[in-house]
Amino acid sequence: MSVPDAVAAGGTSRSIAVGWLTPKKRLVLMSAICVVAALCFVFLLVRGSWDFTVPRRATMLGAMAVAACTQGIATVLFHTVTHNRILTPSIVGFDSLYVLMQTVTVFLFGGTAIAATEGIPKLLAQTALMVVFATVLYGWLFSGRFGSLYLLLLVGVVLGLSFQSVSTFLQRLLSPTEYDMLSVELFGRISAVKPDYLPLAFGICAVVCLVVWTRRHQLDVLLLGREHATNLGVNHRRELILMLVIVALLISFSTALVGPMTFYGFIVATLTYQVAGDYRHQYVLPMAFLLGFLTLVVAQFVMQHVFYAGGLLTVLIEFVGGLLFLVVLLRKKGAV
């Protein structure tokens, strides 16, 4: 089975037929569109002081770039190792664990504890806890006699539901004021990211992207499946665990920084497979970042200046992403 055949067998999308645009030209064109969109977002329709508005919009732009990088690349990697394009990394329970951590904090220490503990140490602690959870889960499942990716996904779903149930129970015991303060933390908050966080976020994204880029050819081979990858000299188990840990790191950091965004990565990855024009990760990964960035910038601009509801961007993304997920799922089953 060739790599394109394997991709077609595992996926549901077909690339948009634009014959005169090679994958490289598509990346160049998308990069130019992203630059224009970013400049329009920062400098158009400025009302009030430029000294306040431009730095604030630049910070939001940085947060969008981090969210696009972490969510888009993590979802593509997750699809590669699972050979399934209708899954999202959140199925392993990252979002539910984040909600549980926030809920337990408010339940034990009160609503003011969330504001009092804001800062880089809290961001790193939450990220580290979710990465440790994922690493222990991966290590336990892949080091034993089971060694099954599907068992990993099933355990992730069960743990996610368990975390969600405990969170719901504890939230019912909170006072209305504490619940309101908790609710703010449980929605995506791209517009509320502090500029102090961005240098750390850019550094983590740069290191992870460098590691992923050096292994882009191994990722292409992983698309063939375990047997073919092993026959071609790739250590399938090592690459699988490495990619799952990288996915855990990216999704955990994104969730701790901008809040849960369950279906955003799924939207980006689905669009990327349509637009990239090539199955190879040297084209798919950069296109996932660019499309994710463009999606957030355009959506935030429209929500902010047309509907005057910039704070509802993540709610809209989750709604559209949920609908797209159902459409892709039904098309895969041949129901529509």
Report residue 317 as tokens: 């993304």
Q: Express each pLDDT in 81-101 by its tens digit.
A: 888 787 777 777 777 877 888
Instruction: Give the residue from 288, 228, 296 showing the smallest Cα distance to 69.
Output: 288
- Please report the pLDDT score of residue 12 as a whole number: 43
| Rounded average pLDDT over 245-263 | 81
Domain locations in the chain? 50-330
Report residue 151 as tokens: 């068992």
High-pLDDT (> 90) share of the chain, %: 16
Q: How confident is the model at residue 9 (pLDDT cuts 50, 70, 90)?
A: very low
Q: How confident is the model at residue 286 (pLDDT cuts 50, 70, 90)?
A: very high
Q: Express each pLDDT in 44-71 by its tens digit.
A: 887 778 888 888 889 989 999 999 999 8
Instruction: Give the residue from 205, 103, 90 showing the smallest Cα distance to 159.
Output: 90
Q: H-type helices in the chain, by residue range?
A: 3-10, 23-43, 50-67, 73-82, 94-109, 112-116, 120-143, 149-172, 176-185, 198-214, 216-222, 226-231, 236-258, 264-275, 281-305, 313-332
CA 220 – CA 317 distance, rounded (Å) = 29
- CATH of segment(s) 50-330: 1.10.3470.10
CA 279 – CA 65 distance, rounded (Å) = 23
- Please report the pLDDT score of residue 6 as a whole number: 46
- Please report the pLDDT score of residue 2 as a whole number: 46
| Rounded average pLDDT over 172-196 | 79
pLDDT at 131 over 90: no
| Rounded average pLDDT over 248-260 | 81
